[in-house]
Amino acid sequence: MNHAQAKDRIAKLKELINDYRYHYHVLNESLMSDAAADSLKHELAQLEEAYPDLITQDSPTQRVAGAVLPGFKEVAHRTRMLSLNDVFSKEEVEAWFKRIIKAEPDFKPDFFADIKMDGLACALVYVDGLLQSGVTRGDGFVGEDVTANIRTIEAIPLSLRRQAKYPTFLSGRTEVRGEIVMYKADFARLNEERTQSGLPLFANPRNTAAGTIRQLDSALVRARRLHFRAYDLLREDSLDVPTNEFAYQVLAELGFSVNHQAKRLSSVKQIMDFAAEWEHKRQKLEFNTDGLVVKLNDRSLFERLGIAGKAPKGAIAYKYAAEQATTTVKDIFISIGRTGVATPVAVLAPVVIAGSTVQMATLHNESEIKRKDIRINDSVIVHKAGDIIPEIIEPLIKLRTGKEIEFQMPSHCPICKTALVKQKAADAAWRCPNRSCASRAWKQIQHFASKEAMDIEGLGEKNTIALLDAGLIKDTADLYSLKKEQIMGLERFAVVSARKLVEAINAKKDPTLPRFIYGLGIRQIGVQTAIDLATHFKNLEALMNATGDELDQVEGVGGVVSEAVIEYFAEPYNRRLLEKFKRLGVWPKPVIQTATNKLSGKSFVISGTLKAMSREEAADKIRSLGGKFQSAVAKDTNYLVLGENPGGSKLDQATKLNTPTLTEDELLHLID
Ligand code: IVH
């Protein structure tokens, strides 16, 4: 980017960020997520760093946070209200730990961690046990006196509990700091009421809480039902509060609500485990959180370490990775899937989202691109969560320069040049109808070899391409006539790897019927439907000759599925393929009724790795006992089995749906 382009981009970014800010703070509407706005601010800051002459007084990067508003009395904090430095990874937590050790070589890991609440900080001052004032954080040195407003918050005691076992805190000055939060449910109800009354909606609970506290009408504050959770206790004599663990005990005794999840931890590993646990479970909390606060438990040590900038050296905020960011669309290309569907895919300028680099996002189909008006060279907001495929939420139209190019759906397959077709006029998807299109063959072979299908090891993307390019195979059946001498000649293979691949293919010559049906890659047939079809028809010949009526009788099979099955077996290309399989001695075993059906009606999902067997072996075993194996937790899932390092999204879903979980041992007990 040259100077002129940077100038133009900076102007546009400032305008968009200011727009976002205005809507957010003044109109209480959100034009985009906080994460997307942060991403834009980050880009602006980077550009300004590269071109410092372009920094202006009114740039959003030049804002000093928390300036005092007119209307409230200014109050100086006795002790500065600090911010925390954010960290995002285990490496950064470790680096923090090392810095502490360097300054205090005798430090024995002793931390106190709590959920980081997404609200606004407030300092409450009690004198001889009576609430005297409530002050916002402000710029950390001076805040606003919002006493009248915070007195309406039920969770804030107007006097400290007298029966407390810690009498020290009832005399003299006791300062309690904590977070004012609005519960998610109250926020939803408030917005619901506003919808009913035709009022604009609030952006999020934090802003609403902050805006409410700055209202000059305290009756309105009361109506908004805010909450307060304490996290800090300050006395003139700091020896009154030796540790943070003690502070929390005292706070609870004095009548404050504290997070009962807060706990003492004694290693970086424990910090990371605690973070992972709450990253999953945080949806269940009443308020929003985007991370943890981790402090040294020993407060005199904390004091000794001191401050760097605005943050103490003895505490950090561990933040969960944001799931949205902004980037640009470099290009749009067409990917041809195994059933021929032509899917437009956006090539993105690489951007890190939720801890991994995203370079591509699906655009689904032509009409979706039109609906969202996504163009090549657009700046866009990208979303990625868990294992889901990254998606473009929307283009940032205000950042357009005129160099954006509207995407034209090609008329022909980019790989084999066959004209693309729509099966029905109403279909959203264009397809490449050429059965032997190299892209289709490649994806189909990958599908056939995948874990849920034939489970052939060593047949990754690149090896498959090498075999196709060399003309050694054209379809899945050809795999079984491969000779190691042919493969050895290829660049990617040595004698051993060629032999191993042939062995791996031939080891799977005798597939089960459900795996083989699934492996054929018939449209609409997922793992479970393949099982349902196999259980019903018992052998492949019966399925091949099934009529629409017969197919409709299969439990779980609807019109679209039977249509797809009939269409598949009616195609001469597929019939020839199946004959080839048979000639090569590859044919699925007929299903024999299992003697025991003890898991009948029960469905299972596995998250993480099992020790005793592979996930596929467990799935086969569950199915052989009449149970269902699912890939994602749904309403009808009976058990989520947790292996080692379980993924977050399945557990989240199970927590949401109250699905019982099983350990690996419990599963083994059930299927043994
Ligand atoms: S302890 C030295 N505990 O996070 C500051 N803070 O970025 C120690 N916050 O302004 C603060 N939940 O308003 C602490 N459980 C928690 C918190 C918490 C939210 C806020 C707090 C502070 C900001 C620091």
The best mutation among 231, 259, 303 to test binding of ligand 1, ranked by most ligand atoms within 8 Å of the C-beta, falls on 231
Backbone φ and ψ of 632, nearest 5°: -140, 150
Stretch 14-40: mean pLDDT: 79
C-alpha–C-alpha distance, residues 396 and 378, integer Å: 7
Q: Is 293 in the pocket of ligand 1 (CB under 6 A)?
A: yes
Q: Which residues contact 155 (CB under 8 A, 6 or more apart)?
A: 227, 228, 229, 256, 257
Q: 525-549: string of b/e by CB count within 10 Å (b at 16+)?
A: bebbbbbbbbbbbeebeebeebeee
Which of 63, 30, 71 minimizes the C-alpha distance to 45? 63
Instruction: Give 26's DSSP letter.
Output: I
C-alpha–C-alpha distance, residues 114 and 247, integer Å: 13
pLDDT of residue 57: 72
CA 616 to chain centre: 25
Stretch 79-87: mean pLDDT: 92
Better pLDDT: 282 or 313 = 313
**Residue 295 Cα, ligand 1 centroid: separation in angstroms?**
10
**What sign for the dihedral angle of Cα 73, 287, 25, 291?**
positive
pLDDT of residue 70: 58
Stretch 32-44: mean pLDDT: 89
Check pLDDT > 60 for residue 69: no
**Residue 116 Cα, ligand 1 centroid: separation in angstroms?**
6
Q: Is 662 in the pocket of ligand 1 (CB under 6 A)?
A: no
Stretch 329-348: mean pLDDT: 95
C-alpha–C-alpha distance, residues 381 and 31, integer Å: 11
Which one of the listed residues 12, 14, 41, 116 is annotated catalytic? Answer: 116
Across the strands, what pairs with 127?
Answer: 130, 173
Q: Is 179 in the pocket of ligand 1 (CB under 6 A)?
A: yes
**Which protein residue has the closest C-alpha to ligand 1 atom 16?**
116
| Three-state DSSP class for residue 97 | helix
Stretch 331-346: mean pLDDT: 94
**Which protein residue has the closest C-alpha to ligand 1 atom 21?**
121
Check pLDDT > 80 for residue 24: no
Q: Is 230 in the pocket of ligand 1 (CB under 6 A)?
A: no
Better pLDDT: 660 or 649 = 660
Residue 214 CB-density burial (10 A; 0-12 exposed, 13-18 middle, 19+ buried): middle
pLDDT of residue 470: 93
Name the pLDDT band for 280 (thresholds 50, 70, 90). Answer: confident
Stretch 328-356: mean pLDDT: 92
Q: Is 231 in the pocket of ligand 1 (CB under 6 A)?
A: yes
Check pLDDT > 60 for residue 28: no
Name the pLDDT band for 386 (thresholds 50, 70, 90). Answer: low
The best mutation among 86, 117, 274, 307 to test binding of ligand 1, ranked by most ligand atoms within 8 Å of the C-beta, falls on 117
Enter the pTM of the model: 0.56
CB contact at 8 A, 604 and 639: yes
**Residue 59 Cα, ligand 1 centroid: separation in angstroms?**
27
Q: Is 291 in the pocket of ligand 1 (CB under 6 A)?
A: no
**Residue 244 Cα, ligand 1 centroid: separation in angstroms?**
13
Stretch 70-77: mean pLDDT: 87
Share of the chain above pLDDT 90, in %: 64
Which of 421, 117, 478 minimizes the C-alpha distance to 262? 117
Q: Is 186 in the pocket of ligand 1 (CB under 6 A)?
A: no
| Three-state DSSP class for residue 430 | strand
CB contact at 8 A, 314 and 302: yes
Stretch 9-25: mean pLDDT: 84
**Residue 87 Cα, ligand 1 centroid: separation in angstroms?**
14
**Which protein residue has the closest C-alpha to ligand 1 atom 1?**
231
Q: Is 315 in the pocket of ligand 1 (CB under 6 A)?
A: yes
pLDDT of residue 67: 44
pLDDT of residue 25: 58
**Residue 248 Cα, ligand 1 centroid: separation in angstroms?**
14
The best mutation among 233, 293, 295, 305 to test binding of ligand 1, ranked by most ligand atoms within 8 Å of the C-beta, falls on 293
CA distances, 22 to each of 15, 28, 30, 195, 441 (Å): 10, 8, 9, 21, 52
Name the pLDDT band for 27 (thresholds 50, 70, 90). Answer: low
Name the pLDDT band for 594 (thresholds 50, 70, 90). Answer: low
Atom of ligand 1 nearest to the CA of 315: 2
Share of the chain above pLDDT 70, in %: 96
C-alpha–C-alpha distance, residues 625 and 90, integer Å: 42
CB contact at 8 A, 115 and 229: no
CA 437 to chain centre: 35
**Structural domains in the chain plus CATH codes:** 3-62 (1.10.287.610), 74-319 (3.30.470.30), 324-406 (2.40.50.140), 438-583 (1.10.150.20), 603-671 (3.40.50.10190)
- pLDDT one-digit tens code per residue, 139-153: 899 999 999 899 889
Q: Is 144 in the pocket of ligand 1 (CB under 6 A)?
A: no
Across the strands, what pairs with 75?
Answer: 143
Whether 116 is a known active-site residue: answer yes
CB contact at 8 A, 155 and 146: no
pLDDT of residue 528: 81
Stretch 159-167: mean pLDDT: 84
**Which protein residue has the closest C-alpha to ligand 1 atom 17?**
116
Task: Report the mean per-residue pLDDT for the chain.
Answer: 90
pLDDT of residue 63: 56
**Residue 80 Cα, ligand 1 centroid: separation in angstroms?**
13
Radius of gyration of the chain (CA): 31
Atom of ligand 1 nearest to the CA of 317: 7
Stretch 514-524: mean pLDDT: 94
The best mutation among 84, 232, 265 to test binding of ligand 1, ranked by most ligand atoms within 8 Å of the C-beta, falls on 84
pLDDT of residue 626: 81
- pLDDT one-digit tens code per residue, 88-132: 889 999 999 999 999 999 999 999 999 999 999 999 999 999 999
Check pLDDT > 90 for residue 595: no
The best mutation among 179, 296, 305, 310 to test binding of ligand 1, ranked by most ligand atoms within 8 Å of the C-beta, falls on 179
- pLDDT one-digit tens code per residue, 535-570: 899 999 999 999 999 999 887 777 888 999 999 999
Q: Is 311 in the pocket of ligand 1 (CB under 6 A)?
A: no
Q: Is 209 in the pocket of ligand 1 (CB under 6 A)?
A: no
pLDDT of residue 116: 97
| Alpha helices (runs of H) in 255-396, residue ranges in sequence order | 268-281, 299-305, 366-372
CB contact at 8 A, 193 and 87: no
C-alpha–C-alpha distance, residues 552 and 561, integer Å: 9
Check pLDDT > 90 for residue 670: no
**Residue 378 Cα, ligand 1 centroid: separation in angstroms?**
38
Stretch 283-288: mean pLDDT: 89
CB contact at 8 A, 329 and 346: yes
Q: Is 290 in the pocket of ligand 1 (CB under 6 A)?
A: no
Name the pLDDT band for 66 (thresholds 50, 70, 90). Answer: very low
Q: Is 261 in the pocket of ligand 1 (CB under 6 A)?
A: no
**Residue 77 Cα, ligand 1 centroid: separation in angstroms?**
16
Better pLDDT: 633 or 593 = 633
